[in-house]
Structure 1
């Protein structure tokens, strides 16, 4: 497990908190709470095993000039209730307190779906000798899948904790199936990161 790291993708107030921009606009993720709980458990297991944990955080400038026209249009209701949606330095852009990074854990800011694109994520992983990524986060079919594809193209082995990802209805299962077919091992987090007792039992 020494070459494995956990990557938590965009688990931010704007996406997951009941007072975040998406929830206030009536666009909250339907399965957010169980996904948050699964990610809490995954982080506890990973930290207990001494695995490095990385976070990505999606941040944009006021008004979202980095966003594609289609994404900006889809996000219009959220901008209407929170003009600083995911803006640099805003509460909306902060990692959810329940999943907050420890003081020594790396947070990568990004403004594209793929957490590797135009960021220092790959260099940070390579510096620690990471070869395998265990990915959790939101949205399953957008930033998680884009990042998983980016990781594979950079020759990382990738696993996705399916129960620690969230998306809107109708998108999560097809995205997990697509990733499982070609890009990653997809399973519940507890199967991807078994407890030390389970490992001893299997041995």
Structure 2
């Protein structure tokens, strides 16, 4: 399947130091960045191709207030190590995008404090203002922020494409189950090469 660049945006989910650098705070609480780093090369390729094809690029960052009053159940009950380990605090190195993901002036950055990039953000309004119908998604983690964002995109009737070679998860079984679930009901799981070829050749339809 090849996806045209027209009416398409690229969402790069949470490719930030806290998750994807070995010195990040999430590795320090026992969730190793080494499991997520395989997504970096694919994300870099997608960003480069999107820029060349003039596809809007939207980066998301998972960030919290220093007091974690915005942390909700995730940070206070389900995974309190996020709070206790002082992870992902807004305005710190931890919250910064990886150097490989350095945004350009025309790119968009969406800060969020929940797995979905749509929850409590202006992502939907941004996509509508850009006249977007197709959303290509890459980043981390497959079964949490990627899948939750994809599900929410689907509920808003965006045609969503998850790039298998550019997402990663801490455990292989969760990764594969998430891909299967998304591909069945919420979007299309596609190969990186299909996206790159489609944006380069500009087919008339997805």
TM-score by length of 1: 0.88
How far off its partner does 1:93 sit?
0.7
Runs of at least 5 residues in structure 1 that lack an aligned partner in the other structure: none
Q: Distance in 1 between matches of 2:67 and 2:78?
A: 13
After superposition, residues 37-56 of structure 1 pair within 5 angstroms as 37-56=41-60
| Alignment partner of 2:195 out of 189, 192, 197 | 192
Question: Which residue of structure 2 aligns with residue 126 of structure 1?
Answer: 128
Which structure has the higher relative contact order (CA within 8 Å, separation 6+)? Answer: 2
Change in CA separation of 1:113 and 1:196 when aligned onto 2, cut-off 3 Å: closer
| Alignment partner of 1:4 out of 4, 8, 20 | 8
Q: Distance in 1 between matches of 2:16 and 2:120?
A: 20
- Counterpart check, 1:136 vs 2:148: no
| Alignment partner of 1:160 out of 155, 159, 162 | 162
Kept in 2: contact 1:12–1:96 (CA 8 A): yes
How far off its partner does 1:107 sit?
0.2
TM-score by length of 2: 0.87
After superposition, residues 48-127 of structure 1 pair within 5 angstroms as 48-69=52-73, 71-72=75-76, 75-77=79-81, 79=83, 82-83=85-86, 85-127=87-129
Runs of at least 5 residues in structure 2 that lack an aligned partner in the other structure: none
How far off its partner does 1:192 sit?
2.6
Number of residues of Structure 1 aligned to a counterpart in Structure 2: 198
SS of equivalent residue, structure 2 residue 38: helix
Kept in 2: contact 1:54–1:105 (CA 8 A): yes
